[in-house]
């Protein structure tokens, strides 16, 4: 009886210990479940706090600049001479150079990118797709400084044989090379949009007697229109924010002209020039760096908002 009683007590103790251990594990698991959302929230807020910090820095320094330079002179001035004895800070030459280079880039990348996407999604065999997709990824992975030297040392000399009046540094050459750089972005995003169109729509068009080409351009592309437009807008934003290509190949002449054979400067190239050490901290030219950066930030922000608007407005649900 004694042995049986001791055995019963031992089993009871073991059960009680197991229950306590399970409770501890459950409490620990519950604590972890409670902490994980908090940790994830803190991680998610890092990007928000970073954005707020960037906006605060740009805005505070931009306000200091506009205390010294009238805001209307800045946004309507066509002369930019920050280092002269009588400095002028008109941003229009920089905006003009930025828009021209981006426009040239999208003229190059748009047709090539969309046609590449159409071929990959509608016509290419699996073997061709396996070859071309990695090539596009390689093109996207080339550092932009390499593109810049390519534009300056190869593209510009070739263009000067065709256009004798082309200056050594000009906006045409970097614009063309930027177009090559953003081709993978347009091609990849547009292909994703085209592939997402259901095959039933293609099969229905083919069953009605449409050719492959008619099906592609009258059915598939209109159905993927929102994704294609979004890819174009994002590619333009990428071109607007490009730095090294235009810094190397477009020169530093702050000309307000629409002649693409002349040297111009973009907003990003100006930021690199000022940040290179020529401006003393606290000077007007130093603060102009932040005013130009704020303008560039607003440009890219508006482009991304427009892309989201287009994507939502023309999105098709299947």
C-alpha atoms less than 13 angstroms from C-alpha of 132 in its C-beta half-sphere: 19
Q: What's 251's domain CATH number?
A: 1.10.3720.10
pLDDT at 11 over 80: no
Residues 45 and 178 in one domain: no
Nearest to 307 by CA among 218, 222, 189, 176: 189
Structurally, the chain folds into a number of domains equal to 2
**74 within a domain of the structure (yes/no):** no
| Number of separate helices (H) and strands (E) present in the chain | 14, 2
**127 within a domain of the structure (yes/no):** yes
Q: What is the pLDDT of residues 301-313, one digit of tens each?
A: 888 787 777 777 7
Please state which of the ranges 58-62, 86-90, 248-252, 275-279 shows the lowest mean pLDDT.
275-279
Domain stops at, among 40, 68, 96:
68
**75 within a domain of the structure (yes/no):** no
Domain stops at, among 44, 68, 92:
68
Residues 138 and 278 in one domain: yes
**45 within a domain of the structure (yes/no):** yes
DSSP 89: E
**167 within a domain of the structure (yes/no):** yes
pLDDT at 83 over 80: no
Q: What is the pLDDT of residues 260-289, one digit of tens each?
A: 888 888 898 888 888 776 667 778 888 888
pLDDT at 19 (0 to 100): 58
pLDDT at 127 (0 to 100): 83
**318 within a domain of the structure (yes/no):** no
Residues 184 and 239 in one domain: yes
Distances (CA, A) of 317 to 54, 195, 226, 281: 36, 14, 11, 53
**248 within a domain of the structure (yes/no):** yes
Residues 41 and 152 in one domain: no
312: left (phi over 0), alpha (psi -120 to 50) or beta: alpha
Q: Is 61 exposed, middle or buried (0-12, 13-18, 19+ CB in 10 A)?
A: middle
Domain stops at, among 43, 68, 93:
68
Q: Dump the DSSP string for 12-32.
A: HHHHHHHHHHHHHHHHHHHHH
Residues 243 and 271 in one domain: yes
> How large is the angle between the packed helices 225-240 and 284-313, nearest 10 degrees?
170
Residues 173 and 216 in one domain: yes
Q: What is the pTM of this model?
A: 0.81
Residues 93 and 146 in one domain: yes
Residues 134 and 8 in one domain: no
Instruction: Note whether 133 and 120 are within 8 A (CB).
Output: yes
Q: What is the pLDDT of residues 177-215, one digit of tens each?
A: 999 999 999 998 888 888 888 888 888 888 888 788 888
Residues 58 and 85 in one domain: no
Token look-up 């929230």 returns 41
| Residue 34 domain boundaries | 2-68
**148 within a domain of the structure (yes/no):** yes
Q: Which residues contact 186 (CB under 8 A, 6 or more apart)?
A: 109, 110, 113, 114, 117, 231, 232, 235
Residues 136 and 156 in one domain: yes
Higher pLDDT, 2 or 87: 87
Residues 121 and 18 in one domain: no
Residues 167 and 30 in one domain: no
Confidence of residue 1 (pLDDT cuts 50, 70, 90): very low
Q: What is the pLDDT of residues 215-239, one digit of tens each?
A: 888 888 888 888 888 888 888 888 8
Instruction: Note whether 59 and 50 are within 8 A (CB).
Output: no
């Amino acid at each position: 009886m004694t042995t049986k009683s001791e055995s019963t007590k031992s089993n009871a103790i073991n059960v009680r210990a197991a229950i306590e251990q399970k409770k501890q594990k459950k409490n620990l698991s519950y604590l972890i479940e409670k902490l994980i959302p908090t940790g994830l929230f803190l991680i998610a807020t890092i990007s928000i706090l970073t954005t707020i910090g960037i906006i605060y820095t740009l805005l505070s320094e931009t306000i200091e600049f506009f205390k010294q330079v009238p805001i209307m002179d800045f946004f309507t001035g066509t002369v930019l001479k920050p280092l002269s004895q009588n400095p002028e800070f008109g941003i229009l030459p920089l905006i003009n150079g930025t828009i021209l280079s981006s426009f040239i880039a999208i003229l190059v990348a748009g047709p090539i990118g969309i046609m590449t996407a159409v071929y990959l999604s509608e016509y290419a065999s699996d073997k061709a797709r396996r070859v071309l997709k990695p090539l596009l990824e390689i093109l996207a992975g080339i550092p932009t400084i390499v593109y810049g030297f390519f534009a300056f040392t190869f593209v510009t000399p070739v263009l000067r044989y065709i256009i004798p009046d082309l200056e050594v540094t000009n906006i045409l050459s970097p614009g063309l090379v930027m177009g090559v750089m953003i081709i993978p972005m347009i091609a990849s995003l547009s292909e994703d949009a085209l592939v997402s169109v259901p095959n039933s729509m293609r099969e229905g068009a083919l069953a009605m007697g449409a050719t492959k080409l008619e099906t592609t351009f009258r059915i598939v592309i209109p159905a993927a229109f929102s994704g294609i437009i979004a890819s174009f807008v994002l590619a333009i934003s990428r071109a607007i924010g490009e730095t090294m290509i235009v810094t190397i190949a477009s020169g530093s002449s702050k000309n307000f002209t629409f002649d693409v054979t002349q040297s111009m400067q973009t907003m990003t190239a100006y930021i690199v020039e000022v940040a290179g050490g020529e401006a003393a901290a606290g000077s007007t030219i130093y603060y102009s760096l932040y005013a130009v950066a704020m303008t560039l930030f607003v440009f890219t922000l508006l482009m991304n908002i427009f892309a989201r608007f287009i994507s939502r407005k023309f999105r098709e649900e299947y």
